Structure 1
Amino acid sequence: MPRAPVAAARSFCRCIAAGAALLLAALALPAGAGDLDKADLARRFQPPLHVGDKLSDIPAWPITSELEPEAGPVAYAFESIDLAPIPGFEGTPMNLLVSIDRKGNFMDVALIRQHEPVFLSGLGEGPLRDFLAQYANKSLKQEITVSSLYGNTRSGAGGNRVVLDGVSKATASVRIVNQTVLSSALAVARARLGFAAPADKGPLAEVRSDVFEKRSFAELLASGAIGRLHLSNGELEKRFAGSEGAGVDAEALARPDDTCIDLYVAYLNAPTIGRAILGDAGHADLMRRLEPGQHAWWVASAGRDAFIDDGFTRGTVPARLAFSQGGAPVELRDLDLSPLPPDGAPPLNAALVLRVPPMSGVDPASPLRFELSFTRAKGSMLPVLTQRSAHLDYQAPEALFHRPAAPLPDWLLAWQDRATELAIITVALLLLSLVLARPRWMSVSAGRLKLFRLGFLAFTLAYLGWHAQGQLSIVQITGAVKSLAAGAGLKSFLYDPVSLLLIGFTLLSFVLWGRGTFCGWLCPFGALQEFTALLARALRVPELKFPARLGDLLDRGRFVILAALVALAAVAPGWAEKGVEIEPFKTAITVGFDRSAPFVAYAVGLLILGGLYYKFFCRYLCPLGAAMVLGGKLRVLDWLPRRKECGQPCQTCRHRCTYDAIEKSGAIRYDRCFQCLDCVGIYHDDKRCAPIMLMRKRELKGQAGTTSGPAHDR
């Protein structure tokens, strides 16, 4: 029977309004600035290295060396939280001290502070520090990813790709660590080391070294492989028209149709072009000189003007030539080669091989702009200088390149790595949905329902919990609110696809069936408690029950705990991190009881209590369960069937409900219901449902009376 959606929403809002307001207001805290100062860094970098003052344009400290006093900074050190405050699993960014050298190689990544639950007291910080140690000597020029411990841990490694070993039971956390390290390091590299901003159109094109066709200079020019800018004297004069530079060049005025300059440009990395311009030996020598990711162009000129002046110094940047791509200027520097004129080329007055810095981000297959400036002076004592420019748009032929597939973002790699697990869990969720949507066939047979339920709970505990690490926790709720309040979004959830799948399904189940879908079927620790209770009954341990009034009082305990954790998160986050240990999930499920004795004793103690008092933790202590109850207020269906005789007078279902979720009136208390489906089976079973049994008895009596009547008359 449907409930009014508006009434359900109002009920939900009344239950959570105060707590949500407190949580949102109190957790709207900044992520926090860095923790270190110059003195702290000086203790970490010993001579001959010295730490300079923190830079004003980017929060990083330059590191100089006594061995290279004139070299400027040889490295940079910075705190990740200043540059990439990415929320972790708990909602708070971690802080790492990252140092990179001037070539973009990692010197070290050190842990300053972190709040990941699995590293606080579960696995400890040792595995995290071991993970961070892998960055040393890796380069930002490489594609650095984290292995999945759920599949082929070295899949895709090789070439320019580096795969770091992950941490078992902390896969999502270390992927967030990797994103934090790379994002912060790239921010510094772009600001100080000349690394380009990320490309908007995917990976940069790569030269096809296997493609070579012998072409003449004329053929390359005709195909566009060599670009040409032709500027006559008259065309240049028009550019100065109306300025102080007009009419200054007598030769241009006298012979306007003559060539002022022909500017030639060619991309040299591609063998078809480079070998035609430089020759086979010259091209091979060039490629040996270039670093990975570095590109070079041949630039030459003919005519009465040259693109370089007589005072040009080899190895420097040509003052008159500017180079850009997509509006972003890039430095072109002379490689100090002396290329001979190519066969078939016109008489040249200047020719240079110019290169861009490594990791410049230039896409050699995309349009480029070469801009040549012209300066004229009017007057001799205090000349008035006027400058104009002309540009050549150049694009090397696409056939000389191939474009690699865009690398998947780290979070999507997590989904890809766990595709098999996600498929298995999705099938299980669909099966559970089918059973809950059409429960009659499964539940009418007590034996069939018991077999299915125990099988599904075994799957939840062993596969979903211990294997797939799919135990939801109150930490995810407080972490999500913290992230939203800090304006950081919920992207960190993408790194844990199993949990995100369960969260999405649980939110949907709130609307359809209420809170019991997760608590009764999908909580690994809840499943462990249920098996503990079965073991206790098998050992003839009696099941105890609290008096009704005391049970109602204890039932409110989990809401008190939830409110306390919210308050602690608001005023004392450090204590909140300790307070969430009231959940034994990390001990029993995440690390499989591999923790220190106090935590193991606590978890085992709760299981023992669960053997005596059915699902003791779930019903009386679980803050996540309290949050689930609040979410269950969104339920729009009263989907568990009831008869008018339920509770009046029949009490069969109430007495058999181990969760005390049925009132004396026969009404279902959905906030206590774990959706075991026992009452649904009783409702449909003519051997267990008293109203059906009574109705059948009356029918049989009626049939007996009808049969005996005629015989009596006779």
Structure 2
Amino acid sequence: MPSFAFIRVVLVLCMLLQSGTALAQVSETEIRSIFPKLTRIGEPLENPSVVPVYQLDQLLGYVFETNDLTNLPGFSGERINLLIGLDASGTLVKLKVLNHHEPIFLHGLGEQPMVEFIHQYEGITVDKRIIVDSRHSGQDPDGSGTVYIDGITKATVSVLVMNDTVLSAALQVARAYLEGFERPPTVTVREDVFQPYSWQQMESNGLLRYWPVSQAQLQQGFPLALEDYQDPELQQALAESDLPGRYYYAYLNTPVTGKNILGEQEYQRLMTVLRPGEHAILVASVGAYGFLEPEFRRGTVPSRLGMSQNGLPVDIRDLDFFDNTRPQFPADAPAFEELRVFRIKAQSGFDPSQPMTLNLDLDLPRNHLIRDQAQFEDSYQLPAELFKIEVTEEVKPMPLWQRLWLDRWLQIAGLVMTLLVVTAAFIWQHRLSAHSRRFHQVRWGVMLVTLFFIGIYAQGQLSVVNIYTLLLQIAKGFDIEVFLLDPVLFVLWTYVFITLFLWGRGVFCGWLCPFGVLQEIAAKVGSLLKLKQVKIPPKVHQTLQKLKYLLLLVLVGSAFWSVTLAERLAELEPFKTAITLVFVRSWPFVVYALLLLVVGMFIHKFFCRYLCPLGAGLAVLGKFSLFRWLHRRAECGKPCQLCKVRCGIDSINRDGSVDYNECIQCMECIVILNNDDQCAIELSQNKQRQRKAANQGDIPARQLS
């Protein structure tokens, strides 16, 4: 590069560094790695912030940081800052992670999966429909407009944040600086246009579309004769009719289409289901060959069916509208084999007044190794008088946290049900504990659900890292959306926080901590193997109990010094290794977690008692709990020591009182007290009563032996 050009590049980069705008962290070398053919870097542009790069006078594309264009917090509460190169045709050239604080990548899976994930976007144009779905990874046939990319197991939130970050930032740049990506004009439905029509009249007036697909049309898309493909669905359709595909589709938001097709009542229900700015499309089929793939799941995005407009993909997702009802179609409507209503989100840029195209993407197997693909499409436009153009504010997309809550409803429902069972167990703990066998069935049932459903499946393991995030958010300005990104953790933390002030730390530590359950299992295995339990001397025990509070202070304090350091120190918790990653990790972490469990076979819940900083934090707040519901008798401690001896976590004092700072509320002590055949005092009193009765001649003496 000529020296004057190099000086120009340096001056531009210095200006960017001083201004604090686009590419503040990026060197010329990194820009050149994205566009190797560049000869000069242009002046930075604003709204949105990008830097154009050129080869002589030809625009190569734009380089930008996502932090300058988006404000989507990751799981850690901090944004994931990406460097993106977008060429002049709207293709993503290269992506690089500049900065992030996602714990799962920093100290769990490692950063390589994150790098591999964002590299999947390279070579994709921003007019493609991108779906994060590992089941169908790879791009659909040319022209289909859909790209499936692999997600990352155990990092769902981070993956979705990165996906939204890439697409949001790239689309902003494309719409601002590139031709063909402009957002269509805003239109609204005219509510005053309505006239009753039959099905045939709607079809004749262009209010709904009939799309027949003949055998001849299908044959044009495939190299082999249709009869040669091993597809039972297609072969059945070919045998039944010369028109294997017979499809109807219609836009439902307008009263003249929605009311005539669905009926007044169902149309109004649809309008309440749709959110502001969203659209609904009805698609139906007659005959054996439908528009949904056999493995289609309700409420998801279809892979066989798609939509586009102005050459850009339009995301459609099944609304599952007819889950419990069937529509009252006009009397002359056909009998449909398949019928679905699809939702188009507000941020899609869809304009119902413009032509829309329905795409049918077929994938037929020649044999178990080779498949052929073809795409068929049909266009349709509604009459212009159904709409009016208005100047309105752009509808903001649904926040990521809301989408996550909707997607994880099953996990949320399962968690809430479990929490209701735990709450009932605590409210009616004396009634339940009076039945020893039933109590243990309930508690072990809850614990197994905690381990496998809440912990491993739903990833609901609380951590001291969550405390970092809360304190740092409070220090920098609280944003509740950061915590809403993980609905399972949010619901669980909310419940734990409330119950801390009711019953103390034991609700979580004894019932809802997945790693705590693993320790209970380890202790049970040790008992079955008849391993001799190590008894810690009282003074040593009391000293070791204070260790977790010291560790909590060090870990929380380190977060204000360096978040990265705090996250590394948080590896003191084996939760990520044992629960989040299920021991699929490098050997030092696995050995550490297993060692704690092995020690727990000899010292009951060793980690909980002495090392857990999360338990220490919960114990601090648990000091303010309102209730002390673990019943004690006057004889407890004086003279009876049975409960203290049997307390696995050693939280019962010699005087019989309970140390609620350390108690995990396993309720074993009240099981003993509420069962006459277990409580030593009750057994002793019963024996005294029997002897007294025997002395009075009521009971034969031999029955007392």
Q: Considering the TM-score relative to the shorter chain, is it more than 0.5?
A: yes
Task: Give 3-state SS (helix, strand or coil) of 1:122's partner.
Answer: coil
Q: Report the equivalent of 1:127.
A: 113
Q: How does 1:625-644 map to 2 (within 5 A)?
A: 625-644=615-634
Residue deviations 1:190-240 (CA, integer Å, cap 9, x gap): 5544867899999999xxxx977499xxxxxxxxxxxxxxxxxxxxxxxxx
Q: Report the equivalent of 2:556.
A: 566
Inter-CA distance 43–136: structure 2 relative to 1 (3 Å threshold) = closer
| Partner Cα separation in structure 1 for residue 509 and residue 187 of structure 2 | 45
The count of aligned residue pairs is 500
- What's the offset of the Cα at 1:49? 6.4
Inter-CA distance 555–644: structure 2 relative to 1 (3 Å threshold) = same
For residue 87 of structure 1, the aligned residue among 46, 62, 73 is: 73
- 2:149 equivalent to 1:171: no
Residue deviations 1:335-358 (CA, integer Å, cap 9, x gap): xxxxxxxxxxxxxxxxxxxxxxxx
Asked if the contact 1:80–1:181 (Cα under 8 Å) also holds between the matched residues in 2, the reply is yes
For residue 576 of structure 1, the aligned residue among 557, 566, 569 is: 566
- What's the offset of the Cα at 1:48? 4.3
Q: How does 1:247-266 map to 2 (within 5 A)?
A: none
Asked if the contact 2:145–2:312 (Cα under 8 Å) also holds between the matched residues in 1, the reply is no
Asked if the contact 1:148–1:171 (Cα under 8 Å) also holds between the matched residues in 2, the reply is no
- 2:31 equivalent to 1:41: yes
Inter-CA distance 502–178: structure 2 relative to 1 (3 Å threshold) = same
For residue 464 of structure 1, the aligned residue among 431, 454, 458 is: 454
For residue 608 of structure 1, the aligned residue among 598, 601, 609 is: 598
Inter-CA distance 454–362: structure 2 relative to 1 (3 Å threshold) = closer
- What's the offset of the Cα at 1:552? 1.1
- 2:405 equivalent to 1:415: yes
| Partner Cα separation in structure 2 for residue 477 and residue 545 of structure 1 | 32
Inter-CA distance 498–362: structure 2 relative to 1 (3 Å threshold) = closer
Asked if the contact 1:118–1:124 (Cα under 8 Å) also holds between the matched residues in 2, the reply is yes
- Per mean C-alpha deviation after superposition, the further-off stretch among 577-586 and 181-190 is 181-190
Task: Give 3-state SS (helix, strand or coil) of 2:501's partner.
Answer: helix
Counterpart amino acid of residue 69 in structure 2: L
Q: Report the equivalent of 1:397.
A: 385
Residue deviations 1:99-139 (CA, integer Å, cap 9, x gap): 22345443332222322121123222222122112222434
For residue 98 of structure 2, the aligned residue among 98, 112, 131 is: 112
Q: Report the equivalent of 1:136.
A: 122
Inter-CA distance 199–491: structure 2 relative to 1 (3 Å threshold) = farther
Q: Report the equivalent of 2:508.
A: 518
| Partner Cα separation in structure 1 for residue 186 and residue 548 of structure 2 | 49
Inter-CA distance 671–144: structure 2 relative to 1 (3 Å threshold) = farther
- 2:647 equivalent to 1:673: no
Q: How does 1:25-424 map to 2 (within 5 A)?
A: 34-48=24-38, 50-55=40-45, 58-66=48-56, 69=57, 73-142=59-128, 144-147=130-133, 163-189=148-174, 191-193=176-178, 213=205, 291-292=310-311, 396-398=384-386, 409-424=399-414
Asked if the contact 1:411–1:495 (Cα under 8 Å) also holds between the matched residues in 2, the reply is yes
CA RMSD of aligned residues (A): 4.0
Inter-CA distance 148–615: structure 2 relative to 1 (3 Å threshold) = farther
| Partner Cα separation in structure 2 for residue 360 and residue 600 of structure 1 | 45
| Partner Cα separation in structure 2 for residue 508 and residue 397 of structure 1 | 56
- Per mean C-alpha deviation after superposition, the further-off stretch among 527-536 and 42-51 is 42-51
Residue deviations 1:458-496 (CA, integer Å, cap 9, x gap): 332223222222211111221233234333613233332
| Partner Cα separation in structure 1 for residue 34 and residue 146 of structure 2 | 30
- 2:650 equivalent to 1:687: no
Task: Give 3-state SS (helix, strand or coil) of 2:681's partner.
Answer: helix
Inter-CA distance 139–639: structure 2 relative to 1 (3 Å threshold) = farther
- 2:606 equivalent to 1:620: no
Counterpart amino acid of residue 385 in structure 2: P
Counterpart amino acid of residue 89 in structure 1: F
| Partner Cα separation in structure 2 for residue 638 and residue 468 of structure 1 | 31
Inter-CA distance 44–33: structure 2 relative to 1 (3 Å threshold) = closer
Counterpart amino acid of residue 77 in structure 2: G
Asked if the contact 1:365–1:397 (Cα under 8 Å) also holds between the matched residues in 2, the reply is no
| Partner Cα separation in structure 1 for residue 190 and residue 687 of structure 2 | 81
Inter-CA distance 419–647: structure 2 relative to 1 (3 Å threshold) = same
Asked if the contact 2:436–2:675 (Cα under 8 Å) also holds between the matched residues in 1, the reply is no
- What's the offset of the Cα at 1:621? 1.0
| Partner Cα separation in structure 2 for residue 657 and residue 169 of structure 1 | 36
- What's the offset of the Cα at 1:607? 1.5
Inter-CA distance 408–572: structure 2 relative to 1 (3 Å threshold) = closer
Asked if the contact 2:23–2:64 (Cα under 8 Å) also holds between the matched residues in 1, the reply is no
Gaps of 5+ in 2: 1-19, 192-201, 208-308, 314-346, 355-382, 390-394, 700-705
- What's the offset of the Cα at 1:658? 0.9
Residue deviations 1:663-682 (CA, integer Å, cap 9, x gap): 22222211111111101111
| Partner Cα separation in structure 1 for residue 47 and residue 396 of structure 2 | 31
Identity %: 37
- 2:526 equivalent to 1:536: yes
| Partner Cα separation in structure 1 for residue 584 and residue 520 of structure 2 | 21
Inter-CA distance 93–361: structure 2 relative to 1 (3 Å threshold) = closer
Inter-CA distance 192–453: structure 2 relative to 1 (3 Å threshold) = same
Gaps of 5+ in 1: 1-29, 216-289, 295-358, 367-394, 710-714
- What's the offset of the Cα at 1:541? 2.1
- Per mean C-alpha deviation after superposition, the further-off stretch among 442-451 and 188-197 is 188-197
| Partner Cα separation in structure 1 for residue 40 and residue 310 of structure 2 | 29
Residue deviations 1:475-520 (CA, integer Å, cap 9, x gap): 1221233234333613233332222222222122212221111111
- What's the offset of the Cα at 1:555? 0.9
For residue 548 of structure 1, the aligned residue among 538, 543, 563 is: 538
Residue deviations 1:156-189 (CA, integer Å, cap 9, x gap): 9997665533111111121122232233334434
- What's the offset of the Cα at 1:80? 1.9
| Partner Cα separation in structure 2 for residue 564 and residue 466 of structure 1 | 28
- What's the offset of the Cα at 1:145? 4.7
Larger RCO (alpha carbons 8 Å, 6+ apart): 1
- What's the offset of the Cα at 1:42? 2.8
Task: Give 3-state SS (helix, strand or coil) of 1:665's partner.
Answer: coil
Task: Give 3-state SS (helix, strand or coil) of 2:117's partner.
Answer: helix
Residue deviations 1:83-102 (CA, integer Å, cap 9, x gap): 33433222332221122234
Asked if the contact 2:187–2:351 (Cα under 8 Å) also holds between the matched residues in 1, the reply is no
Inter-CA distance 708–492: structure 2 relative to 1 (3 Å threshold) = closer
Counterpart amino acid of residue 168 in structure 1: T
Q: Report the equivalent of 1:388.
A: none
Asked if the contact 2:132–2:150 (Cα under 8 Å) also holds between the matched residues in 1, the reply is yes
